[in-house]
Amino acid sequence: MSTAAAIAVALTFCWLGMVLAISFLEAPLKFRAPGVTQPIGLGIGRIVFRALNTIEAVFAAVIVVALATDPPPPAASVALGIAVVMLIAQLLAVRPRLTRRANAVLAGGNAPRSRVHYAYVALEAVKVVALLTGGILLLAA
């Protein structure tokens, strides 16, 4: 395995682990902690997801460069490309709407529950499958 491929594999599985830990474990659990109100949970979530998305963007960029340097089998490229597209959709289409709602709640407003959150979760689920598939295909190459 080349250095570029090893970097792509390592970052793919780190990215996968971060998404699973934060989106599917930390995010739902924080609202169950004693004393965590909706505004506190939203404030924490904004900070955590901003950091996660920043790291995801860096990982995605490095993976794209690594794959361009040492192209893997097409199926691995497609799977990882899907993960990158899901991230871009989250950042450009979904996160801004979620941020507006969180800002309204944090400003003391009573914003209605947003269905946009379900879109974010759906994109996360697709991203998880794509990262797992891409990482396995990279290892098998």
User: Which parts of the chain are beta strand (E)?
Assistant: none
> Can you give the pLDDT of all 141 residues of the chain as single tens digits?
899 999 999 999 999 999 999 999 998 888 888 988 888 888 888 899 999 999 999 999 999 999 999 999 999 999 999 999 999 999 999 999 988 888 888 888 777 777 898 999 999 999 999 999 999 999 998
Half-sphere exposure of 20 (CA within 13 A, CB side): 11
Question: How high is the pLDDT of residue 106?
Answer: 82
Question: How high is the pLDDT of residue 113?
Answer: 75
Question: What span, in angstroms and rounded, lies between the C-alpha atoms of 64 and 85?
Answer: 12
C-beta atoms surrounding 79 within 10 Å:
22
Q: Please check whether residue 22 is in contact with residue 51, taking contact to mean a CB–CB distance below 8 angstroms.
A: no
Question: What span, in angstroms and rounded, lies between the C-alpha atoms of 82 and 123?
Answer: 10
Question: How high is the pLDDT of residue 102?
Answer: 84
Determine if residue 139 is left, alpha or beta; phi over 0 gives left, psi from -120 to 50 gives alpha, anything else beta. alpha
Q: pTM (2 decimals)?
A: 0.91
